[in-house]
């Protein structure tokens, strides 16, 4: 569940409650307006948080990619190549025993993290430029 879905689920009962208030239409609209302002502020703060989180992740990947150590720059590709070799060997039955389910789960997590990391590395500058504008 995303943070936005959570916030929307938390906010919906309040908007329903405002609709059921026994006040004049004008008072109800004023309360609704104030609530929507509050809702906008919460979503804005959430977006700021998400932006900072994305920036932090991108900074980590950038630090790894521009590090002085060869292993610091290369550990992700080495890990993925190792996974590739294991998958190929398992597919052809070369391994003494098939990869355990946990190994496949680890492979899925690793592959997802690697792809996400590489994608973030490539799109973060574009997102940063768009947010600055």
**Is the domain of 46 the same as that of 96?**
no
Locate 10 and state its tokens: 């938390």
Helix, strand, coil % in the chain, rounded to nearest 5: 85, 0, 15
Domain count, the chain: 2
Domain closes at, from 66, 84, 110: 66
Distance CA 97, CA 130 (A): 50
pLDDT by position in tens, the chain (length 133): 566 676 667 777 666 666 666 667 787 788 778 888 888 888 888 888 888 888 888 788 777 777 778 887 778 778 878 888 888 898 898 988 888 888 778 777 777 776 776 676 677 777 777 777 6
User: pTM value?
Assistant: 0.41
Domain that includes residue 62, residue range: 1-66
């Amino acid at each position: 569940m995303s943070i936005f879905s959570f916030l929307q689920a938390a906010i919906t009962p309040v908007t329903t409650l405002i609709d059921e208030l026994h006040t004049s239409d004008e008072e109800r609209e004023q309360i609704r307006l104030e609530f929507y302002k509050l809702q906008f502020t919460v979503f804005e703060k959430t977006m700021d948080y998400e932006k900072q989180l994305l920036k932090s992740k991108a900074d980590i990947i950038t630090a790894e990619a521009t590090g002085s150590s060869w292993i610091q720059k290369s550990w992700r590709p080495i890990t993925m190549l190792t996974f590739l070799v294991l998958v190929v060997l398992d597919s052809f039955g070369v391994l003494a025993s098939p990869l355990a389910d946990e190994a496949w789960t680890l492979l899925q997590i690793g592959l997802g993290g690697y792809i996400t990391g590489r994608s973030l590395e490539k799109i973060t500058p574009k997102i940063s430029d768009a947010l600055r504008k």
